[in-house]
Structure 1
Amino acid sequence: MKGKGNSGKILGIIISSLLALFFVFYLGYSYGVRVGSLSAPPSYIENARENMPASVDFSLFWQTWNKARELYIGDSDPQEMIYGAISGMVSALGDPYSAFLKPSDNEKFSQDLSGQFDGIGAELTMQNGQIVVVAPLAGSPAEKAGVRAKDVIVEIDGTGATEMSLNQAVDKIRGKAGTQIKLKILRTGVENPLDFTITRESIKVESVTYKLEDVAGKKIAILKVSQFGDDTMDLAEKYAKEIVKDKASGVILDLRNNPGGYLDSSVEFANLFLEQGKTVVVEVDKEGAKKEYKTDKAPILKDYPTVVLANGGSASAAEIVTGALRDYKRAEIVGEKTFGKGSVQALEPLLKGAALKVTIAKWLTPLGTEINKVGITPDIVVALSDADQNAGRDPQLDKAKSEIISKIK
């Protein structure tokens, strides 16, 4: 009896131990399954492991994703979360000019470079903290509705515009052709605000404009380039031929507030003023390899005295042209120091209409000058103050006119 009792106790201890081990195993397994599931992509995410690098552990990403989706008090859009994550990844490169463009942003970026977009067709600026109409485009919905130059926009679709940035106002005013937008406007000489309901249309804005002015008895061509986009060279060559036909005595090239655009367009544009075979810009890639971009045509405007207008809004491709004309002493630069963007970006198409804008090289002027974060200081520095703009004065253009007259023989 004694031996049998001890055997029972031993058997009981073994069973208890096994149960305890099983319980610990079960808890560990359950915890592991939960942590494992939180560290894996959810089933509703398509192609979660497509092109995934073998050396990168994505478990933390998916654990954070699942926790955020599980615990966040509000609604969350999985696709917007993916876009945000990708944007953060590209931002981690630490380069201000590299960016992920989700499909809607990529479409807007392409529209801006093409000069074609849906909106009301009014050029806007910021003056004294207010959104001001510079001018409605000829034949645009804004002009047809009665919007005038110097009108102040104080409300857009019921939302106050006084706290908006210029970009925010532009984005809100743009929209699909055929849709309507309501603007509340203040106008000098009119006591009460004016209300406008305007139907948006497809708008085409030319990147190059030309006018011929009489300055001190001389015909002076004023060529303004707002960006180096899809239509730039067709328009530039057209107007260059008109300048010759109009027998202008000199050219003022206005590159103020030109944010840049296509590198190739800037090289072709410089070719209007520089002899064939001249280096316009030198591109340097991540390995240090250099590539020179040269002019390859006979220049239409080679013999015309030229003054370039530039300011802090002149960047990238605009600085390429400015730098090349300066290095070859082909033009005098008037205005303010340029922005200082000496890098080259490639636009890589991605799935579903998205794109990656990524810096692939830096560029140097023909003499090897690097202007990134430095800019180009004009030969003659002339400021344009808020007071000047508010009063409709342009001392920079005035100086350019006096300089071009002094160069004409």
Structure 2
Amino acid sequence: MTEKNNESLNTEDQTKEVNEEITEGIMESENPEEPKENITRWVRIKPFHFVMLLFFVVFLTAGITTFALAFGDEKVVEVGVPTRTEFNKLFKAYDLLKDEYYDELDQTDIVDGAINGMLDALGDPYSDYMNQKEAENFHMNISSSFQGIGAEIQEKDGFIMVVAPIKGSPAEEAGLKPQDLIIAVDGKSISGYSATEAVTIIRGEKGTKVTLTIQRAGTDQPMDITITRDEIPIKTVYGEMINDHIGKIQITSFSTNTTEELKEALKELEAKGMKGLVLDIRQNPGGLLTQAVSVSSMFVPKGELLFQVEHNDGSIEQFASSESNPLDLPVVVVIDEGSASASEILAGAVSESAGIPLVGKTSFGKGTVQTAFDFEDGSNIKLTSAKWLTPNGNWIHEKGVKPDYEVSLPEFAFLPFLNPDLQLKESMQSQEVKTAETMLQVIGLEPGEVDGFFDEATKNAVLTLQKEAGLEETGILTAETTIELMSRLSVKIQESDTQVNKAVELLQQDLGLTEETDEEVEEDTAS
């Protein structure tokens, strides 16, 4: 998975080292004069000196005894050790556990739990404590490829929610959708888990499988989706020509090389005759703040605001475009519910500072910035350190960026995943059969009435699909037949991409082009 715990707006130099040590409530003094090795030494002491030393020891012991009696049960605070009165209750709780708990304590677990408790009390899903393994995964998400299922997740109201699957990832191919709730992993409930805890058990080695139990909005019953983990690619930019004049570039996340990848993709499409650009940041969960700045600058005139950061002391820091030569051609940006964090910075910047229209659905709504601090043992705290605001000062947190043209995808774009391990055959009745009937109907085959009952008409539609695909003609929907059905549906969704189609329409109007003029150009070229 990217399983990046939304993961998040991060700067490339955002990781700071925290030099304070975490204590367990009992702080041991360190004597710099103490020998480093156990060395036996013989010292001669003169009789007079020995008597004086003995007298001093007796006097010191009596003083300590008097002090202890005077203060009763009160503990003696070690001289030279700083105290924090606000932690007295915490230290006392630790001492009670240590003295009274019936079983042996794992001090590391106790301290980690205390830190987690403080962060949980914030009620902020983006602030989190990560142990060594979780912190390693966090840094891996920012700078390199990894092995997992490839999905951005976050904790929301005690549940783990999918922000967006990564393009081309096992999660996308298996049918995970934005706002799916993951309620169990391999049959074990993850209710109450943090995003980093969920990432740890969902991520795994390439080739291994994990079964996620998903609750999807609008459905009554949870569904199990089994996903085979893979190496998640680090490529974040994909370009193509839609027609002779309009190019489309999709940015799937903001990683280390996104800006350079985007420049290369633009150069390739301009060489192919691109006159207008559809910039697709749907299901882009965000990433590096520095990359969001550099990408946004490519579309916003120099000196114009990209976004603002409001720090916890109320001060405002403004970030402006530094690009001397922004892209000089019409652009339309496409967003959806899976566009989050850095994607929303880009959407807000181009909309408010460059007048670029937005098409699609209201974005996710993450208006905060996170900073990571490392401890010496390799563990990590990720804290929400600031708010970010659009150029006009709007805070989009939990509200999202609204498009200028609200366009929904066809309903069949949100059909649930069909498990290829299932066998759907004649006389069966279920929700899965109804989903299959809908898919068959969408791709142009006639399954009869879409009622969830696998009748003869449904069987004939499956037989037609198998015949066209060169598969064994059994009339049973399973394995390769199910995969073929979902593959054809995916193609149909791309062909019926109403959001991109609207963006193309706007660009053609801007360029003074119509479908008819496109056809005339093609005829002229052919002749």
Q: TM-score range by the shorter chain?
A: 0.5 to 0.7
SS at match of 1:210: strand
Amino acid at match of 2:261: L
Stretch deviating more after TM superposition (56-65 or 237-246): 56-65
Q: Deviations over 1:24-52 (max 9, x none)?
A: xxxx98xx76x959xx99xxxxxxx98x6
Corresponding position: 1:79 with 2:108: yes
Amino acid at match of 2:499: Q
Corresponding position: 1:398 with 2:501: yes
Report what 2:275 is aligned to: 249
In structure 2, relative to structure 1, the CA distance for the partners of 1:66 and 1:183 (3 Å cut) is same
Report what 1:272 is aligned to: 298
Q: Deviations over 1:373-397 (max 9, x none)?
A: 3322111112347642325434323
Deviation at 1:270, TM superposition (A): 1.0
In structure 2, relative to structure 1, the CA distance for the partners of 1:73 and 1:204 (3 Å cut) is farther
Paired-residue identity, %: 28
Report what 2:408 is aligned to: 383
1:260-409 alignment, distance < 5 Å: 260-299=286-325, 302-384=327-409, 387-390=412-415, 392=490, 393=493, 394-409=497-512
Q: Deviations over 1:112-167 (max 9, x none)?
A: 22241124x66799xxxxx9xx89959xxx8xxxx97669xxxxxx93489999x8
Q: Work out which of the residue numbers 83, 91, 97 in structure 2 matches 1:62.
A: 91
Q: Is the 8 A contact 2:237 2:261 kept in 1?
A: yes
1:4-403 alignment, distance < 5 Å: 54-68=83-97, 77-119=106-148, 159-160=186-187, 171-172=200-201, 174-176=203-205, 181-182=208-209, 203-214=232-243, 218-299=244-325, 302-384=327-409, 387-390=412-415, 392=490, 393=493, 394-403=497-506
Find the aligned partners of 1:313 and 1:295 in 2 and give their Cα distance: 25
Report what 2:19 is aligned to: none
RMSD: 4.5
Deviation at 1:86, TM superposition (A): 0.8
5+ residue gaps, structure 2: 1-67, 154-161, 177-184, 213-225, 416-438, 440-489, 513-527
Q: Is the 8 A contact 1:135 1:148 kept in 2?
A: no
Q: Is the 8 A contact 2:253 2:287 kept in 1?
A: yes
TM-score normalised per structure 1: 0.68
Amino acid at match of 1:212: M
Q: Deviations over 1:207-242 (max 9, x none)?
A: 22222222xxx3432222222222212212221222
Find the aligned partners of 1:163 and 1:357 in 2 and give their Cα distance: 21
Amino acid at match of 2:241: L
Point out the structure with the larger strand share: 1
SS at match of 1:353: coil
Deviation at 1:173, TM superposition (A): 5.0
Q: Is the 8 A contact 1:115 1:207 kept in 2?
A: no
Deviation at 1:327, TM superposition (A): 0.7
Find the aligned partners of 2:124 and 2:173 in 1 and give their Cα distance: 40
TM-score normalised per structure 2: 0.54
In structure 2, relative to structure 1, the CA distance for the partners of 1:222 and 1:182 (3 Å cut) is same
Q: How many residue pairs get matched?
A: 341
Stretch deviating more after TM superposition (74-83 or 318-327): 74-83
Q: Deviations over 1:67-126 (max 9, x none)?
A: 34565567753212211211222333444432222222222122222241124x66799x
5+ residue gaps, structure 1: 1-27, 42-48, 126-130, 152-157, 186-195
